[in-house]
Amino acid sequence: MLSVSDAQAIILNLVQPLDLQRDREVVNLLTADSRILATPVTSPLDFPHWDNSAMDGYAVRYEDVQHSSTEQPAILEIVEEIPAGYQPKSTIQPGQAARIFTGAVIPAGADTVVMQEKTHREENRVFILDVPKPQGFVRRKASFYQAGTQLLPAGIKLNASEIAVLAAAQCRQLSVYRRPRVAIFSTGDELVTVDQPLQPGQIVDSNQYALAALVRQSGAEPLILGIVKDDPVALEKVIAHAIAIADIVLSSGGVSVGDYDYVDKILESLQAKIHIQAVQISPGKPLTVATFPTQNSALYFGLPGNPAAVLVTFWRFVLPAIKKLSGITEGWEPLFLKVRSHDELRSDGKRETYLWGKLHLIDGVYEFHKAGGSHSSGNLINLAQTNALAVLPVGKTLISPQEQVQVLQLSNR
Ligand code: AMP
Ligand code: MG
């Protein structure tokens, strides 16, 4: 059976990122948070825009103060006061200084700022009590960024720090990739919606809601197609519609080997190329991944029906695919942390096993606490309030308390 890492490689290889020309839109900076930049940004502004002071103090000529000390201070005449936001008028001559404040423009003639703590003032004279560093506390024009060079590359996610940079550069509108469209439906005769009365033998379709939340948190747009009966005709209709409207299709259920598991057969009848049918992972073994070479570039994930398997396979396989599709240029793969396990973790060793739990910070070190209750893939109750998955590789049957374990941090919570 296909290993988890081989399955991930196959999936990422199948993903065609959104198209730079066709799949972009313009958004305002205020709504650009978490979007993916589609074109590199350059700015016509230098950073800093001009030489400015990093301190409250006095702008001086270094040669005037290079021998200063408490005993023999240089004494300079203050010729101007320059608050932030003002253009200095004077040129500092030998023997002169300007009172200056943080962020204010360095006046012509001055090359160094002496912090006010190292000075003593008497009316319009300042006594320099210490030798500053040559050019000290001067932020040079363009020393942080040179106008016309690349400020931000394409393919990055815009978080608060990037938004701040773009605001400082007065980039009001940005070209970003459109959100990936992810169609979601559930299969099963036993399923009802949250609004329908539950009859004996029925269960509520929780997967649809879980997947919609996961897709939205990933930055993509969920297209919710509802519940489809275990009926080949109905299924074929929905799958054909889904692949026509979405970049990625997520179905849950119907991919196992039961008599009512029709998804793979219908994919074949739609001339799909099936790349994956099972992965050595627990929970989540029956996982179908298909493309439709004769139709379009949609990527189909037939996820298992079990609620825990849906979440685990989404985090492990679907999320990296959405990231790559979204235009992000790197960092698609999940990030695993090595942490200490608080509990004994067990697996039968046959499949890469994911156990849900919670990361706690103990004296600054992460510790994994396995969720109490059943870790059956049919149980979703104890998944609530978890924020990490511990991973036992194939062949590893036991991790003892205090031993190290790899965990997948579920950052989107
Ligand atoms: P299946 O893969 O279709 O055989 O489903 C496996 C198990 O997951 C069955 O016990 C189903 O009842 C359950 N299941 C399937 N789909 C869903 C769903 N959308 N929400 C919650 N549980 C589901
Ligand atoms: Mg089913």
Concatenated DSSP letters of 96-124: EEEEE-TTPBPPBT--EEEEGGGEEEETT
- What are the CA-CA distances from residue 195 to residues 12, 198, 216, 238, 265 (Å)? 37, 9, 22, 22, 31
In which band, very low, low, confident or very high, does the pLDDT at 68 lie, cut at 50, 70 and 90?
A: very high
Q: What angle do CA 320, 326, 332 make, to 5 degrees?
A: 30
Number of structural domains found in the chain: 4
The mean predicted confidence, pLDDT, of the chain is 96
Cα–Cα distance measured from residue 371 to residue 170, given in angstroms and rounded to the nearest whole number? 48
205: its two tokens: 């379709």
Q: What percent of the chain has pLDDT over 70?
A: 100
Phi then psi for residue 356, to 5 deg, are -90, 150
| CA distance linking residue 134 with residue 264, whole number of Å | 73
Establish whether residue 222 lines the binding site of ligand 1, counting it when its CB lies within 6 angstroms of any ligand atom. Answer: no
Tell me, yes or no, whether 234 and 292 share the same domain. Answer: yes
CATH number, residue 98: 2.170.190.11
In this structure, is residue 264 part of a structural domain? yes
Task: Tell whether 192 and 251 lie within a shared domain.
Answer: yes
CATH of the domain at 392: 2.40.340.10
Q: What residue type is 309 in one-letter code?
A: A
Give the pLDDT of residue 150: 98
Kindly state whether residue 218 falls inside one of the protein's structural domains: yes
| Two structure tokens written together for 137 | 């506390």
- Which pLDDT score, from 0 to 100, does residue 257 have? 86
Both 162 and 185 in one domain: the answer is no
Same domain, 99 and 119: yes
Of 325, 353, 379, the last residue of a domain is: 325
pLDDT at 413 over 60: no
CA–CA separation, 166 and 218 (whole Å): 23
Does the CB atom of residue 188 touch ligand 1 within 6 A? Answer: yes
Whether residue 312 is found in the same domain as residue 218? yes
What span, in angstroms and rounded, lies between the C-alpha atoms of 119 and 131? 10
CATH of the domain at 308: 3.40.980.10
pLDDT recorded at residue 275: 98
Q: Which ligand sits closest to the CA of 190?
A: 1
> Does a structural domain hold residue 155?
yes
Give residue-wise pLDDT tens across range 152-174. 999 999 999 999 999 999 999 99
Q: Is 331 helix (H, G, I), strand (E, B) or coil?
A: coil
Cβ distance 206 to 308 under 8 Å?
no
Domain boundary among 291, 325, 359: 325
Neighbours of ion ligand 2 (CB under 5 A): 188, 253-254, 305
In a domain, 395, yes or no: yes
Instruction: Say if residue 128's pLDDT is above 60.
Output: yes
Q: How far is the CA of 235 from the centre of ligand 1 (A)?
A: 15
Question: Cβ(297)–Cβ(291) under 8 Å?
Answer: yes
Quick one: which of 362, 395, 353, 358 has its CA closest to 373? 358
Instruction: Report whether residue 254 contacts ligand 1, using a CB cutoff of 6 Å.
Output: yes
Identify whether residues 277 and 318 lie together within a single domain.
yes
Question: Which ligand 1 atom minimizes the distance to the CA of 190?
Answer: 12
Band of the pLDDT at 260, cuts 50, 70, 90?
confident
251 pocket-lining for ligand 1 (C-beta < 6 Å): no
pTM of the model: 0.92
Q: Is-cis flag, bond preceding 48, omega within 30?
A: yes
pLDDT at 412 over 60: no
215-239 average pLDDT score: 97
The bound ligand whose nearest atom lies closest to the alpha carbon of 186 is 1
- Note the maximum CA span of the chain: 96
307 close to ligand 1 (CB < 6 Angstrom)? yes
Measured from the Cα of 206, ligand 1's closest atom is: 20
Does 359 reside within a domain? yes
Residue 377: predicted pLDDT? 85
pLDDT level of residue 22 (50, 70, 90 thresholds): very high
Q: Is residue 330 part of a domain?
A: no
Ligand 1 atom, smallest distance to 261 CA: 3
Ligand 1 centre distance from Cα of residue 384 (Å): 18
pLDDT digits (tens, 9 = 90+) for 269-304: 999 999 999 999 999 999 999 999 999 999 999 999
Residue where one domain finishes, among candidates 84, 115, 139: 139
Q: Do 78 and 43 share a structural domain?
A: no
Q: What range defines the domain where residue 277 resides?
A: 4-18+178-325
Indicate the DSSP class of residue 133.
Answer: P
> Does 331 fall in a domain?
no
What's the mean pLDDT in 70-85? Answer: 96
Number of other CB atoms surrounding residue 193 within 10 Å: 12
In a domain, 204, yes or no: yes
What pLDDT, on a 0 to 100 scale, did the predictor assign at position 392? 98
Residue 234 CA to ligand 1 center (angstroms) comes to: 18
**Angstrom distance (rounded) from CA 282 to CA 186:** 21
